[in-house]
Chains A and B, each alone.
Chain A
């Protein structure tokens, strides 16, 4: 209990640092540290699945993105900062908002309305042991499908921002020293861990998003060290890697319409193999999509 309070205070202090520190780079680092401690908070809240996602995506690749952006963007203000009076008003209203959220959370009805029994009762039919994965793949399959498509749309949005004649993301600055060594040693281990997390997601904490994020991170690490080149945006294989997951998922969804009477419904007794059929290409597509999002828009060839 005391440890929880200390953890919560540390998270709050880091979040405050992120908001109030002068240096944009320091704010980025503060955000990553907040995210890593938040992953611990998620473990304390009993959800290792979310903790893995927060560590891999929120703090991990999200942190890389924001720290990198902080070094490139600098601190040019787009507009004048709010006057001290406006600032006080904003702070007051935000404090009121926080009090309202806190009051709502602390006065929830007891027992809280929930779907625990529905989720537990339907679990055997799915062949899965992890109820979170079952929710993602079976009951809320539509969310997961649309989420995979959101990643795809974000990649398209990023490419749409590219200047005329751009073919691939600019190569990273030449790196000497420990990074190329790390980029050779770490990926074999990282790929095994990523695939394990995807596979273990059926029965324990893990899943394709967490595993996909680690795969993406391993590839971006090799790219940062100059070991691999960024793919050209017109590369056919890249396009297939990006759409394979959503395409198979959509195909299974339409097949469910015919075989099980509902879009995205899984045929009885076949749930587990069909979920594996969806998850394999989806992991590839998520990894490719997240890696491309980290690389940023293509730039004109020099």
Chain B
């Protein structure tokens, strides 16, 4: 139950960070927190039965999230460079 509540709280907190932040990088951090919350939801469901399938999906998800984040950071740096 602890982890279900944490997953839900991280989802809410991450979504708030994504929507309410004015600095783009802070939005990215919020979005990653939202992702962590969603992954934890998978973990909570997987832990109930010891199911390996959601766990494998989370591993895939973490790598894809990292790849997307690097691309977002590169876009932000490019944006900052064009503004200077």
Contact = CB atoms under 8 A, between A and B. Distances in A.
Contacts of B17: 18-19
B60 A97 contact: no
A87 B75 CA distance: 26
A119 interface: yes
A47 B13 contact: no
Nearest to B47: A45
Interface of A: 1, 4-5, 8, 11-12, 15-16, 18-19, 24, 27-28, 31, 34-35, 38, 41-42, 44-47, 49-50, 53-54, 57-58, 61-62, 65-66, 69-70, 72-82, 87, 90-91, 94-95, 97-99, 101-102, 105-106, 108, 110-112, 114-116, 119, 131-132, 134-136, 139-140, 143-144, 147, 150-151, 153-154, 157-158, 161, 207, 209, 286, 289-290, 293-294, 296-297
Given A73-B25, A102-B4, A19 B13 contact: yes
A256 B69 CA distance: 34
Interface string B1-42: 111111111111111110111111110111011001101110
A144 B56 CA distance: 9
Nearest to A153: B67
A153 to B, nearest CB: 8
A15 B14 contact: yes
B59 A112 contact: no
Given A75-B23, A82-B22, A116-B51, 8 more contacts: A8-B5, A18-B33, A47-B46, A66-B73, A69-B76, A73-B25, A151-B67, A289-B67
Interface of B: 1-17, 19-26, 28-30, 32-33, 36-37, 39-41, 43-53, 55-60, 62-71, 73-80, 83
26 contacts: A4-B2, A5-B2, A12-B9, A12-B13, A15-B13, A18-B17, A18-B30, A19-B16, A44-B3, A62-B32, A66-B28, A66-B69, A77-B22, A81-B20, A97-B12, A98-B15, A101-B8, A112-B49, A116-B50, A116-B51, A132-B59, A135-B56, A140-B60, A157-B74, A158-B71, A161-B74
Contacts, number: 262
B4 A105 contact: yes
A132 B55 contact: yes
Contacts of B52: 115-116, 119, 131-132, 134-135
Contacts of A65: 66, 69-70, 73
A139 B51 CA distance: 14
Contacts of A66: 25, 28-29, 32, 69, 73
